[in-house]
Amino acid sequence: MEKQILDGRLVADSVKNSLKERVENLIKKGITPCLATILVGDDPSSETYVNMKGKACEKLGMKSIKIHLSKETSTEELLETIQKLNEDDTVHGILLQHPVPSQIDERKAFDAIDIRKDVDGVTSFGYGQTALGFGKFPSCTPAAIMKILDYYEIPIEGKHAVVIGRSPILGKPVSALLLNENATVTTCHSRTTNLAEIVKLADIVVAAVGKPNFIQGDWIKPGAVVLDAGYNKGNIGDVDYEACLVNSSAITPVPGGVGPVTISMLLKHTVDAAEESLKAN
Ligand code: NAP
C-alpha cells in the first residue's frame, strides 16, 4: 500500500508563507501583530514551548511579549496579569501556557481571556463557538490536525473518525471540528472499554492521550489515516509509529508532524486577531 508521510513542517511553512504579506500589510498600517505568552512556574518543557512560540512570532516580523510568573502565583495575581493584557491594545493574542501550578484555578484564568484575544481557543465561550461551528479560533492543536487533513486533501465527510482523548484543549475540540466537517466521530477516554476494537473501525485516528507509543499497530484498519498529537518526553508520540505505519495509508511522524503546524496556527490566529482589531477601530 502506498504510504503518505504527513509532513507537518511542509504544512507549517505553507501557513507561515501565507502570513508574511498579511503581517507586512498590518505593519504598514501601524499594527504589529503581537502575541503575549504567560508562563507560570518553571516547568522546563513549558518554558521550551513558550520560547518556541515567541521565536516563531519574531521570525515572521510579529511581536511577542513573554510574561513569566513565579510558581507561587495566586489565581488573583494571574487574573490581574490577564486583565492588563486584555486592556492593552497593542496585544492581539494571549496564550496562557497549560498546565499552571495546582493552586491556580486554571478554568477561571482561561475564561478571563478576552474572547477577541483567545487565539488558543481555551475560553468556555470560544470552545462553545467551535463546537457550534462558528468559532474564529479553535484550539491550535485541533486546528493543526484539520489543517494537515486539508493540506493533503484527505476526505473527512462520511468517514469514521476515532479520537482517543477528551481534554478541553485537544480531544473535545478536535472531535467537534471533525463532526463539523461531517465525519462520524467517536471520542474515547480512559473509561472506554474495548478501545482497540473501536480504533479498528476508524478511517481517521487521532491520538491525543499523552502516553508514549500507546496506539498499537494491529489497532489500525488497513488504509486508515493516523494523526498523532502526542508529544511525550524524548520526542515520542502517542502512536507506535513504526507499527502503525504498516496498515496506515497516511501518518504524521513525531517530531515533525502536528507540533510545527500547531505553532503556525497560533501565528495565524494572532494575525487574524490583529486584522480584526483594525476593523474594530
Ligand atoms: P490530557 O489532558 O492528559 O488528556 C489525556 C486524555 O487521554 C484524557 O481525556 C484521558 O481520559 C485520555 N486517556 C488517558 N489514558 C487513556 C487510556 N488508557 N485509554 C484511553 N484514553 C486515555 O492530555 P492533553 O493535554 O489532551 O494532551 C494529549 C497529548 O497531546 C500529550 O502527549 C500532549 O503532550 C500532546 N499535546 C501536543 C500538542 C502539540 O502541539 N502537538 C499540544 C497539546 C498537547 P480521561 O478524560 O478519562 O482522563
Residue ranges covered by each domain of the chain: 30-114, 140-259
What fold, for 140-259? Rossmann fold (3.40.50)
Is residue 213 within 6 Å of ligand 1 at its C-beta? no
pLDDT for 281: 73
The response to whether residue 260 sits with its C-beta less than 6 Å from ligand 1 reads no
**Alpha carbon distances (Å) from 176 to 118, 129, 211, 227:** 18, 10, 22, 16
What does the alpha-carbon distance between residue 210 and residue 223 come to, in Å, rounded to a whole number? 24
- Indicate if ligand 1 lies below 6 Å from the C-beta of 135: no
Does the fold of domain 140-259 match that of domain 30-114? yes
- 18 known member of a binding site: no
Most ligand 1 atoms within 8 A of CB, residue of 145, 170, 232, 238 to mutate? 170
Residues of the chain with pLDDT under 50: none
pLDDT at 1: 65
Give the global pTM.
0.97
pLDDT of residue 273: 98
Please check if 167 is assigned to a binding site: yes
pLDDT in tens, 186-211: 999 999 999 999 999 999 999 999 99
**Residues 192-231 as b or e (16 or more Cβ within 10 Å = b):** eeebeebbbebbbbbbbbeebbbbeeebbbeebbbbbbbb
Considering only CA atoms, which of 249, 270, 227 is closest in space to residue 118?
A: 270
Domain 30-114 CATH superfamily: Leucine Dehydrogenase, chain A, domain 1 (3.40.50.10860)
Q: What is the pLDDT of residues 67-116, one digit of tens each?
A: 999 999 999 999 999 999 999 999 999 999 999 999 999 999 999 999 99
The whole-number pLDDT of residue 280 equals: 82
